[in-house]
Structure 1
């Protein structure tokens, strides 16, 4: 049986999220917290929880500081952010602080259910609509990846990495590029190795400001 902790200060939203979870899973155990202090207490008490769904704007959170503190106090529980803040910068900062997913509160029930399903399978979930937003251009000197690492990627690997940055799952990448999902997984493994990163989140963060249109054209 799955165990969730929903940490959000809006009872009606917690109720809606509980309905989404109950519709997707068989009799999950769901804990509720309306403040950061309550969430922290429950997380420490229930270290066997499968997932924390955390609102970064509820009382006591201080934005992403609360996420960092919760990660320190309950390091074994995966945390997914669920927020009305749909800025790409916020998403990337949350992932950089250790979140394994980011779900927009404006998402449909189907999207939320799909996101939770992917996260429970160990995949990273990022909202494609947010990740595809244009970011404020950054000076080239601030590029996160050396050019030689980017040039080491094949064209197909660049296409896969681009879709990863845009928030697509392996299944969505496979459908978009018309290749098998196993092939996508092989490309992802090669990308992680060539970029010298440990996981998908690190690859996404490192490549978040890359101009793929120029690279893929070369």
Structure 2
């Protein structure tokens, strides 16, 4: 296989990153591998790299909250193939990852042979998802509501969940407080809730699956 691939591994667990490194080298000899252990670190890497071929993304690492990292990256880098690697292997999680634009999903319980098979498949341009999840269909009203949020609205909601005030969220996102209030109005409408407490409870009900 072509050895000029640039692959980013974003995971905050050194041992698992090392296992991924070994798998990638076995699948693609001489690939250019880059590490990131947080969302901020990953965004810094992406700002410097010219069109990496693949991102292997952990759902749980500093700076992310469930699907928030995937949603943000999908919005900012729509052409980047992203394969989620996670210990949360429930079919509903895989389905949601897929619906938010991931190119594949590799369970962290996969052995070396399975990792190599998955990496080879996605680098050949074919999505990879576990067989047990390919026929799973989720009909979850809450999931549909959250999926209706824009990436920015989802980021605002996760910041609400982290306990940030409107002023703090506005500062972090470099927008006005009026803009944040407008986002919150839209979030409440889409989630069919009346206040931030109810919105946060709904998000936490969904996020427990990724813990």
TM category, shorter: 0.5 to 0.7
Report the Cα distance in structure 1 between the residues aligned to 2:5 and 2:73, rounded to whole angstroms: 20
Q: Secondary structure at the match of 1:53?
A: strand
Does the CA-based 8 Å contact 2:84-2:105 persist in structure 1? Answer: yes
Does the CA-based 8 Å contact 1:5-1:30 persist in structure 2? Answer: yes
Q: Higher RCO, 1 or 2 (CA under 8 Å, sep at least 6)?
A: 2
Report the Cα distance in structure 1 between the residues aligned to 2:72 and 2:46, rounded to whole angstroms: 12
**Structure 2 matches for 1:3-82, cutoff 5 A?**
3-82=6-85
Q: Secondary structure at the match of 2:132?
A: helix
Mapped pair 1:93 → 2:99: no
Report the Cα distance in structure 2 between the residues aligned to 1:87 and 1:77, rounded to whole angstroms: 25
Does the CA-based 8 Å contact 1:47-1:76 persist in structure 2? Answer: no
| TM-score, reference length from structure 1 | 0.59
Report the Cα distance in structure 1 between the residues aligned to 2:102 and 2:138, rounded to whole angstroms: 23
- Over 3 Å counting, the alpha-carbon distance change for 1:92 and 1:135 in structure 2 is closer
Gaps of 5+ in 2: 145-211
| TM-score, reference length from structure 2 | 0.61
Q: Secondary structure at the match of 2:92?
A: helix
Moved over 4 A (4+): 134-139
Q: Structure 1 residue 75: deviation in Å?
A: 2.2
Does the CA-based 8 Å contact 1:86-1:130 persist in structure 2? Answer: no
Q: Structure 1 residue 73: deviation in Å?
A: 1.8
Q: Structure 1 residue 72: deviation in Å?
A: 1.8
Does the CA-based 8 Å contact 1:47-1:77 persist in structure 2? Answer: no
Q: Structure 1 residue 20: deviation in Å?
A: 0.4
Q: Structure 1 residue 121: deviation in Å?
A: 1.0
Q: Structure 1 residue 136: deviation in Å?
A: 7.4
Does the CA-based 8 Å contact 1:44-1:74 persist in structure 2? Answer: no
Report the Cα distance in structure 1 between the residues aligned to 2:98 and 2:25, rounded to whole angstroms: 26
Q: Secondary structure at the match of 1:106?
A: coil
Report the Cα distance in structure 1 between the residues aligned to 2:54 and 2:134, rounded to whole angstroms: 23
Give RMSD over aligned pairs. Answer: 2.1
